[in-house]
Every structure is written in C-alpha cells, then in structure tokens.
Amino acid sequence: MSLLRPILSAGLLLALTAHAQEFKCPSYQGKNPLFNADVFDGPPEKNVQLEPDASRGNKSYTYALWKIGYLFDLGSTPFLVCKFAGLGDAQSMTIKVDKRVEQCVFRTHGGGQPAEAECK
C-alpha cells in the first residue's frame, strides 16, 4: 500500500498538468449574447489588435483563428476582448490570457445561438 500512494499522487499530478489552460468568453452578459471577439497583443488600450491568421464565413457562420503562442516566447501577454449584442464597447469584457496558449478561436453558429470565443 505504501507504493500505491506515490503512484496515485503522480497520476493525479500528471492529469492536472496535462489539462490545457483555457480562456473563454461567457456566452452571455446578462441577457445579451456574445456576438464578437478581438485578440490584442498587450492591453487593449495600447491598440495592438491582431488580425486573424485564418478567417472564413457567410451570413450564418463566422470563423476566425489567431495563432498566438509566439507572443509568450516574446514575453508579451495577449488579451481576449468579448463583445455582447446590444452593449457598447465600454461594456465589453476583457480577459488577460496570462498562461501560455497556442491559439484563439472565434465562431458563430447562426440560428440565434450565441457566438463562442476561446483561447487554448
């Protein structure tokens, strides 16, 4: 039994570190659904908004991808800004992505569903 405890502890530690860090916009702010997101290199007030590395869409579907892993290598901290329908920019939500992630993705689905935005 004394050997079992270190093995279980090591397994738990591995499971916790293997889980990828994720930063995500909420689907709603109050009753207002998420409708857009932007990614910035540094705080948004510095106005260094990143262009997506890939994007596509039509009237009912939008997809954007930002590859941001390199920012951490440069010592920079990205920020995810979540925007909600019916609310102005002053009511957007800013999330500091302070743990290394490789990419951020924004997508809409149409059909009245809120958009999704996450960095992982």
Rounded alpha-carbon distances, angstroms, from residue 67 to 82, 104, 116: 18, 7, 17
Render pLDDT for 47-79 as a digit per residue (tens, 0 to 9): 999 999 999 998 888 999 999 999 999 999 999
**Mean of the pLDDT values across residues 76-83?**
98
The pLDDT of residue 111? 76
CA dihedral 55, 87, 23, 52 (to 10 degrees): 20
The pLDDT of residue 92? 96
Q: Is the Cα torsion angle 21, 46, 27, 68 positive or negative in sign? A: negative
Query: Which amino acid would we find at residue 108?
Result: T
The pLDDT of residue 70? 97
Ranges 11-20, 29-38, 105-114: which has the least confidence? 11-20
Nearest CA among 104, 119, 118 for reference residue 54: 104
Of residues 48 and 9, more confidence is placed in: 48
CB atoms < 10 A from the CB of 94, how many?
13
Nearest CA among 17, 36, 25, 37 for reference residue 100: 17
CA distance 6 to 10: 6
Render pLDDT for 90-112 as a digit per residue (tens, 0 to 9): 899 999 999 999 999 999 987 77
**pTM of the full structure:** 0.81
